Amino acid sequence: MNSYIWGMEEMLKRYGKTSTERIREVLERVKPVVMGNKGVGSIHGYYSLSEEKLASVKEKPRNISYPFDSGELGTYVPDLKEYRTMDFYVKSSSRFFLKPDIGEVIDQMTEEDLKNTDAIHIVSGSERMANNEGDHFVMTAVLLKQEKK
């Protein structure tokens, strides 16, 4: 499925509107993943967060930037296929250390996205400035669906 882009006005309107409780509900089914590998001989692909990192993300879903510091990788997650890419709005206190959180992605997801997404990958290095002050950005996330075998 192709990407679509909310207009900046809609992104600003949706930003921060999802409650912490709702984010936690979503994270019971939709897992944050990172792209990586565990060294020589391992599979390069999507990996879950470690149990410790996932617990910290669930505890403070608007404060933990797992793409910036994913820590030790969890397990390899096979058979994930792109459902769609999406843009999401990020606020940052620094233009040098952009730290997106999972709440910022979930704010921009539609109900259809939530039903059809099993994992979310925030694309590092995808940021584009959204204002002249350098504290608002637009980034890309890949919404993934696990293929049933």
Is the residue at 80 inside a domain? yes
pLDDT on residue 134: 62
126-147 pLDDT, tens digit per residue, is: 677 666 666 778 889 999 999 8
DSSP sequence for 18-84: S-HHHHHHHHHHSEEEEEE--STTSPPEEEEEPHHHHHHHHHSTTT--TTT---SEEEE-TTEEEEE
Question: For residues 22 and 135, which has the higher predicted lDDT (pLDDT)?
Answer: 22
Is the residue at 107 inside a domain? yes
Is the residue at 1 inside a domain? no
Is the residue at 16 inside a domain? yes
pLDDT band at residue 3, thresholds of 50, 70 and 90?
very low
76-129 pLDDT, tens digit per residue, is: 999 999 999 998 888 876 555 677 889 999 999 999 999 999 999 998 876 776
Question: For residues 37 and 76, which has the higher predicted lDDT (pLDDT)?
Answer: 76
Is the residue at 76 inside a domain? yes
Which residue segment(s) compose the domain that 19 sits in?
Answer: 8-146
The yes-or-no verdict on residue 149 having pLDDT over 70 is no
Say which range, 4-13, 43-52, 139-148, has the weakest mean pLDDT: 4-13
Per the structure, how many domains does the chain have? 1
pLDDT on residue 12: 82
pLDDT on residue 2: 41
Is the residue at 2 inside a domain? no
Q: What is the pTM assigned to this prediction? A: 0.86
Is the residue at 3 inside a domain? no
Residue 47 burial (10 A CB sphere; 0-12, 13-18, 19+) = buried
